[in-house]
Amino acid sequence: MSPGPGVAAGVVPSSRFRKLTVAAVLATFLLVVAGAVVRVTGSGLGCGEAGQDWPLCHGRLVPPADAATLIEFSHRMLATIASVLVVAVAWRAWTRYRHLPRLATTMAVAVVLLIVQILLGAATIQFRLPGGIVMAHLANALLLLGVLISVAVMVHSPAARRESTPSLSDRQRSAAKQMAWAAGATYALVLSGGLVVANGAGYACSGWPLCGNGFQFDSSHYATINLFHRFVAGVVGLFLGWTVSRVMRAFRGVRPVRVAAMVVNVALLLQIIAGAVVVETRLPGAARGLHLALASALWATAAALALLVRAGAVRLGKAPEEPRQQPVSAGRPEAVAS
């Protein structure tokens, strides 16, 4: 029996809608990166310190062209673009894909996080960059990015396309659960780096991996914050690397998982190198933004991998079937079941 008018159109997320979710993810990622550049360059008040300078910039729609102002203004423009895309995805999900309750609910969460993000951004300017609000702003932005990644994975999954997906084995379920924990640990790692920036402790240690000459501790308050971040980075880095290796073995032959796992490994390696280089060379603020950008990329890729390996998120390759033993009738060896 053929579906009635308008039924088939809303069953499977369209290609245009799937691309829209990816665009929302990319815009939000660039927004997080731009926010990192704002923090490390000290451009948070680049559009002025008075309350009337939000959402305007120095009270105008078109700001003056000095560096700090352009950095902060670019951040606000990206926030506008990301907000429009998130609202567009939500509207489409609620009006056309109501039959996918998980999608509609997840986008409701994304919209709430977006509203909180806008309010936190305004509060950050109103109260002149207090550390607690800056940290909350970063934490919420990363959560919003993670939720949007889950939406993108959801609408690209075989389940959303009404394709059958084999159930996970016990080994795969265990690896997927561990990957979820590893993604959560990566989120905590990025926040610990944000704590370093918020407290101005980036250069509290003059060496790497420890402080003085790279192998000495320092008892100052800022050095303690810096060393705490490095300790978290070491523990999480080892845990994440081990987990990704385990996921690759459990999902051997599943191409999306293999590609995502390789991207996580590359992001982890680049982040370790960038952290060491930033400390040893004492790079300027704009270059230090690369370290925070890689941290956001590491969180995004770890979250994507954790979501991919959940049941129903990827089409698993079929395992080779066991050869079936063919029965032989007693006394008639030539009688073999076909």
pLDDT tens-digit readout, 271-323 = 888 877 777 676 666 567 778 888 999 999 999 999 999 865 665 544 333 34
pLDDT at residue 186 greater than cutoff 80:
yes
Compute the average pLDDT of residues 313-336.
Answer: 46
The whole-chain average pLDDT of the chain stands at 78
pLDDT at residue 270 greater than cutoff 50:
yes
- Cα-Cα end-to-end distance for the chain: 36
**Which pair of structure tokens corresponds to residue 5?**
């008018």
Distance CA 81, CA 334 (A): 73
Confidence grade of residue 74 (pLDDT, cut at 50, 70, 90): confident
Q: What is the pTM of this model?
A: 0.80
- Cα-based angle 12, 253, 257 (whole degrees, multiple of 5): 55
